[in-house]
Structure 1
Amino acid sequence: MHKKWLPFCLKHRDTLLLGIALMLLLGAALRPSIPIKRNIHTYLLIADITQSMNVIDMSLDHAPASRLDYTKRMMHDIIAQLPCQTRISIGLFAGDAVAALYTPLHVCKHFSAIQQTIDHLDWRMAWTGNSQLRQSVPMAAKLLRQMPEATKAVIFTDGDEAPLLHAFNTRNLKDFQGSDDFYFVGVGTDQGAGIPKLTENNQMIGYWSNESFAVQPNIAQVTASKSSGRDDSVAVSDYDRYISRRASAYLKKLSEEIGAQYLDGDDPHHVLQHIQKHSSPRYEIVAYPIDWILATLSAVCIVSAYINQDSKRQLTHTLRKRFTKLRQTRLFKARHDVAHDNHF
């Protein structure tokens, strides 16, 4: 049978190709799709909004920027590159607690709302002036368990504990569970800078002094650390400023202690790659459009229909003719003369 059909197909090759192209175009117009399985990742992006995040030791668009502004830009960039099936919630960290602003939302359907939430993150949203990251980890784990779906926490912080840790206020995390769902992203520099002291109107009035972070290893300080009261003392000289640095070593140690992962926040793309590296326990069946595949095949058929043997021979002849003329130009001739003159 194929002996009869083969000569027929070769004889009417162009007509058959155009007919196939037409059917492919009609199929593409129907916008068909096929069901495929995709992993669904859900993240709670937690921004440290304590006052040390106001330190200006980062750079955005070749201009100085605070750690919080840098964090907001990094969160923007990460969300913009996430697949549409990803679900995102924004959280805040201050004191020893973590709060989620809403349940996870589809990143594409609610893209504008999520980005606006990030734009409005501000240090004045903090409910306390302390920064007890270690104490907040169990609270964050409890919050993740309350989420309607499996969620990973990505905490953007400089790791600067205030009050400073000592034997009386260092919580034992030996029995901590749920560490696979935690990522710590370090923000800041190793050189660091003074922590600006700002008014409620966001006006700078000085810097936090070393005395504000002095360690007094006794019960009184542990109790006082729970207070949200504000110390009005202001550093008046450079040597009296408390220098806040990114606590990379501490964040790495804390991550190892609870089995979490530490990521350097200098490269947002690096952070995105790592948080998406692990497979998600959840997946859904989504429609994958194939109209562009059919349209591409149709274009190939149309081009093939108009390229016959005569066209191939004519194209080859034209290319050879142009190449011959090109070789006879003064450029190639000059190169030949130079090579000849330099020959010994």
Structure 2
Amino acid sequence: MKAWLKNIKSGSNLDFNTLSLIVSIGFMLLAIINPSIPLKHNIYNYIFVTDISQSMNTIDMSVMNKSISRLEYMKHSLHEIMSELPCGTKVSIGMFVGVSVAASYTPIEVCENFDAIEDTIDHLDWRSGWSGNSRIRESFFNLARLIRSFPENSQVVYFTDGEEAPKLHAFNTKDLSQFQGGNDWVIVGIGSLKGAPIPKLDGKNQLIGYWANDSFALQPGIAQISEANIGTRDDNVAGGESDRYMSKLDEAYLKDITKQINGIYVRGDSILNILSAMKKQKPAWQDTADFHLKWFFASLAGIIFSLRFFSIKQIKQYVIKRRK
């Protein structure tokens, strides 16, 4: 022991075992101190806006060769997306109908609250709607206000079939030229391009008919008096197939309004396409967090200490062998 201390004081004749022991002890001390360095990292917060208007009950989508409604397909897509989001991502589920968007909660961490988020998706239902209208472009303004009320900024992923009801005309078309806040919003088109009738359901979700063409008639006279007085879909039920209103994904319209707000449009028939579009979105914000180096220094100490059990000759032979 005295000889070992003497070698340390003199700074000479330090063999490899002694040197590695000193270095490993030094790294262990650093591990105990646990220094850190500040690193910037991206924060991803999302609000997934779900169209729960009655046109989303249209059955023109399929999963595993089973025909389902747009609403059910949207819920299926959301479940798949949630399972792909990394821990640390924060999520809110919003519902759109009429001109408003309501959030179930402010964004919450996806892994810690996975069951609660999944349950929220399972309970999305057209019967939760508070209006019979469906005014997508006007909802953008209310959605932007909603996001500003969140404690942290959030990116938008908006699921809809593009069905405006009542149909747009000169008196009820909201101008988007001055809209602020839609950059990088992802608009997801749900529905087929072929078209199908919109089922009329009762309070128990039982089919009682289909929406008639008259339910979607323009009402310019009412619109001139007051836009707020524009009626909802009326209670007409189509008597035959010729009277049924045929609803389809209005992709041209969704592409147009997405362009107007500088967003990203994607058709919702592929989960991979939706996730790819989300990757193009900028992070909601950036934060600085301390990256602790305890395990880095502890690992170095362990590696260097382990080298004491190998001679210099053995190490050189191993390196030469690896090079060959």
TM interval, short-chain normalised: 0.7 to 0.9
Note the alpha carbon deviations across 1:149-192, whole angstroms, 9 max, x for none: 11122110000111111122112221111121522110111112
Does residue 1:105 correspond to 2:108, yes or no? yes
Structure 1 residue 281, shift from structure 2 partner: 5.4
% identical equivalent positions: 43
Evaluate the alpha carbon distance shift between residue 166 and residue 277 of structure 1 in structure 2; reply closer, same or farther with a 3 A threshold: same
2: CA distance, partners of 1:50 / 1:69:
13
Q: Is 1:177–2:154 an aligned residue pair?
A: no
Q: Residue 86 of structure 2 aligns with which residue?
A: 83
Deviations 1:228-281 (A, max 9, x none): 5741433433x2221111111100011112222212212222222322334325
For 1:85-133, what per-residue CA distance to the aligned partner results, in whole angstroms no more than 9, with x for missing partners? 2211111100111111211111122121111111100010001111111
**Corresponding residue of 2:199:** 196
Aligned equivalents of 1:241, 1:110: Cα separation in 2: 42
Q: TM-score, with normalisation over the residues of structure 2?
A: 0.77
After superposition, the Cα gap between the structure-2 partners of 1:267 and 1:119, relative to the gap in structure 1 and judged at 3 Å, is same
Aligned residue for 2:235? 231
Which consecutive unaligned segments of at least 5 residues does structure 1 have? 1-7, 311-344
Matched residues, number: 309
Answer yes or no: is the 8 Å Cα contact 2:186–2:277 preserved in 1: no
User: 2:218 is matched with which residue?
Assistant: 216
Distance in 2, matches of 1:289 and 1:66, equals 49
Describe how 1:19-30 pairs up with structure 2 within 5 A. Answer: none
The alpha carbon displacement at 1:290 in A equals 8.5
Partner of residue 259 from structure 1, selected from 257, 262, 284: 262
Q: How does 1:37-48 map to 2 (within 5 A)?
A: 37-48=40-51
Q: Deviations over 1:31-62 (max 9, x none)?
A: 99986432001111100000111111111122
The AA in structure 2 aligned to 1:161 is E
Aligned residue for 1:180, secondary structure, equals coil
Residue type at the aligned position of 2:222: A
**What secondary structure, in the 3-state scheme, does the structure 1 residue paired with 2:117 have?**
helix
Secondary structure of 2:141 counterpart? helix
1:321: which partner in 2?
Answer: none
Structure 2 residue aligned with 1:275: 278
Output the CA distance in 1 between the equivalents of 2:134 and 2:66: 27
Please name the residue that 1:160 is paired with: 163
After superposition, give the CA deviation of every residue in 1:280-323 in whole Å (9 maximum; x if it has no partner): 2523345779899899999999xx9999x99xxxxxxxxxxxxx
Q: Distance in 1 between matches of 2:228 and 2:286?
A: 47
- Supply the distance in 2 between the matched residues of 1:162 and 1:269 (Cα, whole angstroms): 30
Q: Is contact 2:60–2:70 with CA below 8 Å preserved after alignment?
A: yes
Alignment of 1:285-324 (within 5 A): 285-286=288-289
Quote the residue 1:64 is aligned against: 67
Match of 1:3 in 2: none
Contact 1:208–1:235 (CA under 8 A) maintained in structure 2: no
- Matched AA of 1:263: V
CA contact (8 A) 1:131 1:163 kept: yes
**Do the aligned partners of residues 98 and 281 (structure 1) sit closer, same or farther apart at CA in structure 2, a change above 3 Å counting?**
closer
| 2:151 aligned residue | 148
TM-score, with length taken from structure 1:
0.72
Q: 1:296 to 1:139 in 2, by over 3 A?
A: same
C-alpha distance in 2 between matches for 1:51 and 1:141:
23
User: Does the C-alpha gap of structure 1 residues 154 and 305 become closer, same or farther in structure 2, counting only changes over 3 Å?
Assistant: same
Q: Does residue 131 of structure 1 match 2:134? A: yes
